[in-house]
Amino acid sequence: MPKVRVLVVDDSGFFRRRIRELLTADPDIEVIGEAADGREAVSQVCALHPDVVTMDIEMPVLDGISAVREIMRRQPTPVLMFSSLTVEGARATLDALDAGAVDFLPKRFSDLASDSNTAQLRLQQRVKGVARPVGSSRRAAADVVEAPPMRGTARDGRQFRPQAVVIGASTGGPVALQKVLAGLPAEFPYPVLLVQHMPANFTSAFAQRLDGLCALRVREAADGDALVAGEALLAPGGQHIGMVSRGDRLSVKLLPSKPGQFYKPSVDIALASAADACAGKVLGVVLTGMGSDGAEGARRLRQGGGMVWAQDEASCVIYGMPRAVVQAGAADRVIALTDIGAALQRLGR
Amino acid sequence: MQIDPEDDILQDFLVESREIVDALGEQLVELEQRGDDSDLLNSVFRGFHTIKGGAGFLGLDPLVSVCHRTEDLFNLLRNGERQANGELMDQVLRALDVVNAQFESLEAGQPPQEAPAELLTALEALIDHGTVGTAASTGKDTPEPTADDVDQAFDAMVMALSDEPDPTGASESPAAAASDDITDEEFEALLDQLHGEGSHAGVPAEAEQPPVGTPAEDAKTADDDAISEDEFEALLDELHGKGQHAGVPDGEEAPAAPALAPRAPDRVPTASMPARATVDAPAGSAAPAAAVRGETSVRVDTARLDDIMNLVGELVLVRNRITTLCGDVGQEAVNQAVADLELVTSDLQSAVMKTRMQPIKKVYGRFPRLVRDLARDLGKEIRLDMRGEDTDLDKNLVEAISDPLIHLVRNSCDHGIETPEVREAAGKPRQGTLLLSAEQEGDHILLVIADDGAGIDPKALREKAVAKGLIDAESAERLSDKESFDLIFLPGFSTKEQISDVSGRGVGMDVVKTRIAQLNGTIDIDSAPGAGTTLRVTVPLTLAILPTLMVRIKGRKFAMPMAVVREIFSTDLRKTKVVDGRRVVVVRNKAMPLFFLERWLEGIPGLDGASETDDTDRQVVSVMVGNQAIGLVVDNVLGLEEVVIKPLGTLLHGLSGLVGSTTTGDGRIALIIDIPSLINTYGDTL
C-alpha cells in the first residue's frame, strides 16, 4: 500500500517538526513537504500533489482559511485543520470547513487523548482517514443494500409522522448539516435535534452560524429545553444529550460524559434515548462521519418502530457512520445529501 | 513537573519562542506609535498564539494561561473591538515580561511560575471590558470559559465519576432530578449499555466491573432493553472484524468498536486491541529516517564552536609559522602553496567566525522597550531610530557589549534628551530623537548612540571636574573642548546634581569605558551644547583573534593590540624634554609623555636610567590610554600580526599589564600587552 503523502503547513517550525515526528512514526505516512505560510502551502500543494494537507489557521502572508479556499480552487486536496478548541477557534474552524477543509483536530494534541501515544495514533488515523475516504473503495460497500422494509410497508416517510427528527453527524457534518437545514422552511412541522461530534467550545458558535444560514430557528440546547416544531436544537459539545418524554411533550436532557468516551455528544446515546422516549415516533438521520457512532442507536430506534435514514456513500465526506448504520441493517433509506432536505419536507405527506 | 533543559523538544520550543518574544518586544513598542496597524496587530497575535501552541504541546500550563489571555486580547484588537492604549500596553508588556521570566525558568530547568493572578485578572478585564479599572472585580468573577477551564471541569467530572461509580445524573441537576428521576436512571442505563465501563481505557480493572450497589438498575437494564449483551458483543465482533479500528487502543476514536463493547473485560477482541496497538507503535517509531529531511539547521553547543575557533586559531598560527619559514626557503612552488594555504586559512577563519556571528539585533532588540519605559518614567517623548540592526558580530561580544550599551542608552535618555517643555522652549520639536546605529568598518564594528538633546557644556564639565578634585584647575584650563568631554569617563564623575534612578549611581561612564576597553574597543564622545551628544563605540568583530602590532624590546617580542595604536614614529631621545618629572616628546606641538618598556621588563627604577644607549633613533608607538596619547618606546617595530590569544598559565594569571600570550610566526611565544593596565600599574616607574 503506498504511503499517505502529507504536506504540513504551520508558521511555527516547532509545530511543523512535532507534527512531522508524530505522523512519520506511522510507517504508512510520509511527510513530503512543509510550508510556513498559506501562499507557500498553495504552491506546494500544486507542486507536490499531497494526499492530505494539515493546515494551521493563524499564519502570516496568507492565513489558513484563505489557503484552503485557494487549494480547493486550484488543486482540491483533503485538508485537515489544526484548531484551537476555543470559542474564537470555533468560528475560524467553521470558516475553514466552509472553505472546503475536511475536518479539524485540536492543536493541543493532549486534547485528543490524555496519553500521548493514543493522541499520536488518533492523529495518524485521522490523517489516513481523510486521505483515503472510504468512498475511494466503492467496491467494499457495493454489497450493502437497504434494509428490507419492516412490517411490509414502503417506508419512504410519506406515511410517517414523527414527533422529532434526530440528525447525527461527524466528519464533514458541519457542512452537511448546513446543507440539510438550509433546505428546510421556517415552519418545518417537526422538532429537530442535531448531534454533531464537536468540542465543547465549538457548538455555540456552530449553532449561531446555522441559525444565521437557515430559515429554521437553531440554537444550542440547554438541559430541559422542550423540543418544539420550527426549532432545531444543537447538542452542546463535551457532553451527551438524550430525550425525555412527559405526556406528549418532548424535551432534551443533558448528561455528562464518562471518562474514555471520545465522542461527546454521542449519536448512539441520542438515538437510543429517543428510542426509549418515543420509539415509534422518531426519525433518525445519520450523516457523514468517520467511525460508527450512531449505528447501535439507529438499530435500537428502528427496532422500536422508528425510522432511520443514512446518507449515501457518494455524497459523504467520510462514509463511515452511515455505512455502519447500513451494515447493521438499520437503515430504511439511503439518501444523497442534496435530497435529504426534500425528503424531510415530504415526511407525513 | 520535571523540566529537562537539555530535552531536544523543549530546546526547539525555547529557541523558536525566544525569537518570537524578542520580536514581540519590538513590535509592541512599535504598536504604541501605530496602534491601528493591522499587520502589526496580526503578527503580535500570532506571536502569542504560536508560543501558546508550543507551550500547550509541552503541557506548560502557566505559560499557556498568560499567552492565551494576551492572544485573546490581541484578537479583539485586530478585529477592531478594542483600541490599544497606554493602560493596555502596560499590561501586555508585563505579560511579555512574565513570559520572559518563564522562559528563563525553563532554561534553568525549573518549572515556569504561574503568572501573577492580578495580571491575569487585569488581562481578562481588558478582554471583557476594555479597561483594567472598572472591571477589576467583575473580571475576576467571570473569566471567559477557556479550553483549560473546560478541561479542568471535565477532569473534575472524570474524577468524580471514577471515584464513585454511582449514577451521577441524579445529583447533576437536582431540579430536574426531582421531577424525572426515572429518566435519569434510564439514561444511566443507556450509558452503561452503550458505553459500558468495561470499555474505558486506562480505568483500573475493578472499575470494569458493573457498578456495585445498583442491582436494581442492572435488573432493569436486563428487563427493559431489547438488545442483549450478546448482541452488543456480536456487533462489536462484526465491526471489529472489518478491521476498521485497528490501532486504537481505547477504541473511543472510531467510536464504536470497543466503546460499544459492554461489560466484557475478558473478551478476546477487546483484550487484543490494545495489544495490537502496542505492536503497531514500536513498528511505527522505527519508521525510516525520512523525518530528517527538510531540516536545514542544527543546533551546536557554543562550547563546540569555541573549540573549533581555537583549532582554527592554532591553524592560523601554524600558517604564520610556515609563512615565516617560507621566506627562508624561497622556492617558487613552496611559495605558491603557502600563498594558497594562507588564502584557505583566511577563508576558513572567517567562515568559522561567521558561525559564531549574531546580529547586533540581539542587543538592539531590547532598546525599543527600554527607551519606551524610560520615556514614560521620565515624562519625555523619545523617538528611537535604529539602523544596521543586522550587523553581525561575535556572539561573545554581543553579550559583552550589551550592558555598556544599555548604560549609554539610559544616559542619553536621562541626561541627554530634555523634557518636552524644555525642548519646546528651546525651539526644538517636543519629541527627542535617539539614533542607534551599527555598521561594520573593516575589522571592527562602529556603534553610534546619538541624541538631539541638550548636549554637554565643556566648560561646566571642566568646572565640575575641578570641583570634584579630579583634575587641578591648571590642567583644566589647558583642556580643549573635545578633551573636556572625555572627563566624564573619569572615575567618580557624574554631571547630574540629583542622581536619578535611571542611569545608575556611581557606576558611571568610567565603568562603561573600562568594559569597552576590555573588549579591545574604544569609546569616543562628541557634543554640541543645545544640539545633542554623539557617542561612538568601536569593538572588534571577534574576541578570539586579535590584530596586533609586534614589537621587539630587549630582544623579546611583544604584541600590542592594534585597537589602541595611533601612530608609529622614530625619534631622537636626546631631543626629548623633561616636563613635570616625565620625559616627553613634542609631536605636532603637543607634549606626549614617553614610557620606556624596557624599564618595566628589567625593573630599572629612576627617570633616565641607562636609556641613553643608542638613543639617536628609537621607535615610539603612540597609543591611546584613556583620552591621553602616550608614547611607548620600543627597540623595533616588527609589523602587524593576527594572533590568537591564549590565556596565561595560572602562575602568571592576573598579572597586570598582560592580557595573554600567543605563538608567533617564528614559533616563539610573545606576550600580549594590556596597555591601559600596564600604564595604570607601572606608569610611575616607566
Angstroms from B52 CA to nearest CA on chain A: 10
- Flag whether the ipTM exceeds 0.85: no
Q: Is B250's CB within 8 Å of A113's CB?
A: yes
| A141: closest chain B residue by CA | B242
Please provide residue B568's backbone torsions phi and psi, each rounded to the nearest 5 degrees. Answer: -130, 130
Q: Is A14's CB within 8 Å of B145's CB?
A: no
| Triad A339, A345, A348: Cα angle to 5° | 120
Cβ-in-10-Å burial (0-12, 13-18, 19+) of B403 comes to: middle
- Other Cβ atoms within 10 Å of B118 Cβ, number: 12
Domains of chain B: 8-152 (1.20.120.160), 164-284 (no CATH), 302-356 (1.10.287), 359-456+495-540 (3.30.565.10), 545-682 (2.40.50.180)
Cell digits of residue A288: 457523514
> Is B263 in contact with B229 (CB distance < 8 Å)?
yes
Nearest partner of B546 among B394, B343, B437, judged by Cα: B394
Mention every residue, 6+ apart, whose C-beta is less than 8 A from residue B199. Answer: A260, B250, B251, B252, B258, B259, B260, B261, B262, B270
pLDDT value, residue A8:
94
Nearest CB among A58, A262, A304 relative to B255 is that of: A262
- Taking contacts as CB-CB distances below 8 angstroms, the residues of chain B near A255 are 169, 172, 187, 191
Least confident of A129-138, A206-215, B163-172, B385-394: B163-172
Nearest CB among B187, B202, B256 relative to A292 is that of: B256
pLDDT value, residue B201:
39
In the A/B pair of chains, how many CB contacts fall below 8 A? 230
List of chain B residues with pLDDT < 70: 1-2, 5, 132-297, 328-330, 494-507, 544, 601-615, 626-627, 654, 685-686
Say which residue, B209 or A289, is predicted with more confidence: A289
* Position A18 pLDDT exceeds 60: yes
Q: Is A255's CB within 8 Å of B169's CB?
A: yes
Angstroms from B56 CA to nearest CA on chain A: 6
Burial B293-322 (b: 16+ CB within 10 A, else e): eeeeeeeeeeeeeeeebeebbebbbebbbb
Sequence-ordered strand ranges (E) for chain A: 4-9, 29-35, 52-56, 79-83, 103-106, 164-169, 192-196, 217-220, 231-234, 239-246, 249-256, 282-286, 307-311, 333-335
> Is B155 in contact with B163 (CB distance < 8 Å)?
no
Three-class secondary structure of residue A311 per DSSP? strand
CA distance A8 to B382: 44
Q: Is A118's CB within 8 Å of B250's CB?
A: yes
Could you read off the pLDDT of A293-323 as tens digits, one per residue?
Answer: 888 889 888 888 888 999 998 888 888 899 9
Domains of chain A: 4-132 (3.40.50.2300), 149-346 (3.40.50.180)
User: Please, which pLDDT band fits residue A235 given cuts at 50, 70 and 90?
Assistant: very high
User: Please, which pLDDT band fits residue A194 given cuts at 50, 70 and 90?
Assistant: very high
pLDDT value, residue A260:
66
pLDDT value, residue A31:
92
pLDDT value, residue A54:
93
Could you read off the pLDDT of A266-286 as tens digits, one per residue?
Answer: 898 888 888 888 867 889 999
